[in-house]
Amino acid sequence: MQVTRGQIIARGLANRCPNCGGRTLFKAGTLFELDRACRDCGLKIEKDEGFFLGAMAINYGVTCFGLLAPVVILWYLEVLSGRVAIGLAVGLAVLAPLALYRSSRSWQLMLYYFFLPQHLPANRRELSGLEDENV
């Protein structure tokens, strides 16, 4: 069964396995501990050492540009006072990365497999039946 790019996006936004759609990215009963592989299909989630850096970049970008930048703009336009803006910025800078941790890990897998869908086990093609025509 081929997994389409649309399915990869839908599964990534729902924090599901990009290969089978199972809810198995994180260990049961934990908030932050990632499984090494999907319990349903065996897809290796943590591909290589440092693979998590993509999730960190996504989390940082969403926190800075999606949440903190509007606070700075509202302060600059004098909609928010300096104290309120600082309080909001500090609160968001601490809480947003924690709240986005699980989603950023899923989004990173989604982006990886969106651009390289052939790396999903469900999309791999068997090469055993092919013969070289030049021989």
Give DSSP secondary structure letters for 15-64.
T--TTT--S-SB-TT-SS-B-SB-TTT--BSS-STTTTHHHHHHHHHIII
The pTM of this model reads 0.79
- If you average pLDDT over every residue of the chain, what do you get? 88
- Domain boundaries in the chain? 5-123
Length of the chain: 135
Question: Rounded to whole angstroms, how far apart are CA atoms 61 and 9?
Answer: 19
* pLDDT surpassing 70 at residue 38: yes
pLDDT bracket for residue 126 (50, 70, 90): low
Q: How does pLDDT run across 54-102, given as a tens digit for each residue? A: 999 999 999 999 999 999 999 999 999 999 999 999 999 999 999 999 9
Question: Rounded to whole angstroms, how far apart are CA atoms 2 and 92?
Answer: 40
The pLDDT, as a whole number, for residue 135 is 45
